[in-house]
Amino acid sequence: MTASCNLSEEELWSGLDRNAPEVAAHLEGCPECRTRAAALRAGIDGIASAATPTSTPLPQRIGSYVIQRRLGEGGMGIVYEGEQQTPRRQVAVKVVRGGQYVDEYRLKLFQREVQTLARLKHPAIGAIYEAGRTEDGQHYFAMELVRGMRLNEYVRTQHLPRRDRLELCRKICDAINYAHQRGVIHRDLKPTNILIDPDGNPKILDFGLARITDPDVAVTTSGTVVGKIMGTLQYMSPEEARGNPDEIDVRSDVYSLGVVLYELLTDQLPYMVSRSGLHEAVRVICEEPPRRPSTIDRSLRGDLETIVLKALEKERGRRYQSAAALAEDITRYLMDQPILARRANLAYQLRKFVRRHVVFFAFTGALLAIIAAASYWYERAERALREGTVKNTELLDLREAAMQFGVAELFAQEGRFNKAERPYREALTILARLGGYEDRAARARLGLGVVLAGRPDPDPSAAEAELLKALEYFRGRAPAMDVERRRALEALQRLYGAGPLKDPDRERAVRDECRRLDRAVRPEDPPEPVDPGG
């Protein structure tokens, strides 16, 4: 070994046995460890060639199960698809490597997985049916056959939106919390150990490194050696990376769930340790803070980032104290409720309340705005009446136009465009008869154009005509009517961007006018502040 390398024989053997990427990266920079690894691999290859079914025909039966094909294999065992006769069903049959000559360490891990799965009956955890030993000494167990994709592959190929990814993570947290309540710590949580079935539900597998915390069985099934790293380094908590079994508890799984959540949200890992030497990777996990998710995706700033970083706290006491607490904050985020991971001041709670009732507040705000606009129209008309510049009949007509416009705006706010069209036209007819109220008529044309384009049977040509008339009026009243002008431009941009009126050149011209308008309205405005509450 080099002077700076203190990789033990046991750590090297374990890393080679698991094909650990961090050990492979370490070997690239350590010639003496490569020499030791070559000798160890020769021994491993010798054992594997004698014990692995790849060198022998597919077994016809294992126990009472008819074997159909090999599903996969790992460092500890080989998994086959088999058929159970009574009841008739497809199962996964896992056989420990080494056959009747299996070493004590592998057998201990295998037996722990059997004991662990026997404790757990949860829809998101693969169920075990039977465990046994064949006549020729092979240890095996049969469990639920899960057909599906690995978690990271599933979210990538299905292009899952963020909300669905969070729902998946919440279900995984619920299942892990169930295991924790029954004295089981998984210790190897990662996307490759979580399958998503055809219905989109998770199944957690591979409890081979699990630790049972029940005092009656912990002595025989803890399976942890001081100083030995077990699991996949990228998903390990700092206490697991240090190899201290006394520090490992349910919060270690919470940390791994935090890494899984981080990856679900960013498609990256919080630490880039796969190419680091083993000891450097452990140092990074134990000492360096993770990259903030918002540096990868700014939309994660706020509550989501707070949730992830709390799950990834170095100190166990600062993390979520259970998988249930992590699941609760994810649920709170999805329901726009204040999360427990941050201090809930009054402004934060009020902001969350408004978001939970966004439809109500939007409708109420629109209603108040419409009432205010109608009142303004009517007040001006009454003042004109008192001054003797209008007749009483004109005042009544103007009031009717304001009411029709208000009703139309309400329907439009609710998306009921077919119902909004008629009152808009009524308002326009009255205003045209009265004359002299061009600004109000232009606003009604704008609303009519929007609903003609958005109703179930759109009339894009008629919508374009109304919008262009309104836009021309707004342009001549800048900057007083720039808000209405921008709304008309945005509606025209949608018309020219799709459908029968699709025209890239006109869409580009409208978009450019929008940009010029923004620069004219806010030439020196500072950037909009980012909401720290998410």
Active site residues: 188
Rounded-to-integer distance, Cα 496 and Cα 506, Å: 7
DSSP character for 161?
-
For the residues of 461-473, what is the DSSP string, one character each? HHHHHHHHHHHHH
Those residues whose C-beta lies under 8 Å from the C-beta of residue 406, and which sit 6 or more positions away, are 370, 371, 373, 374
Distance, CA of 93 to CA of 109 (rounded, Å): 16
Q: Exposure of 440 by Cβ count < 10 A (0-12 exposed, 13-18 middle, 19+ buried)? A: buried
Tokens 């050149």 locate to 505
Query: Between β-strands 149-150 and 139-144, what pairing exists: parallel, antiparallel or unpaired?
Result: unpaired
91 phi, psi to nearest 5 deg: -135, 165
Amino acid at 241: A
Cα of 242 vs its chain's centroid, Å: 30
Give me 147's structure tokens: 């057909």
Residue 326 near residue 254, CB atoms below 8 Å: yes
- Cβ-Cβ contacts under 8 Å for 331 (sequence gap 6 or more): 170
Contacts 24+ apart (CB under 8 A), 122-127: 122/175, 122/178, 122/179, 123/175, 123/201, 124/171, 124/172, 124/174, 124/175, 124/178, 124/201, 124/202, 124/203, 124/204, 125/175, 125/178, 125/179, 125/203, 125/204, 126/92, 126/203, 126/204, 126/205
**Could you tell me how far CA 90 lies from the centroid of its own chain?**
32
CA atoms within 13 A on the CB side of 250: 21
How far apart (Å, rounded) are the C-alpha atoms in residues 122 and 95?
23
Take residue 507 and report the two structure tokens written for it. 């869409």
C-alpha of 436 from chain center: 55
The residues that bridge with 413 in the sheet, in sequence order, are none
The distance in angstroms from the start CA to the end CA of the chain is 50
Would you say 98 and 78 are in contact if contact means Cβ atoms under 8 Å apart?
no
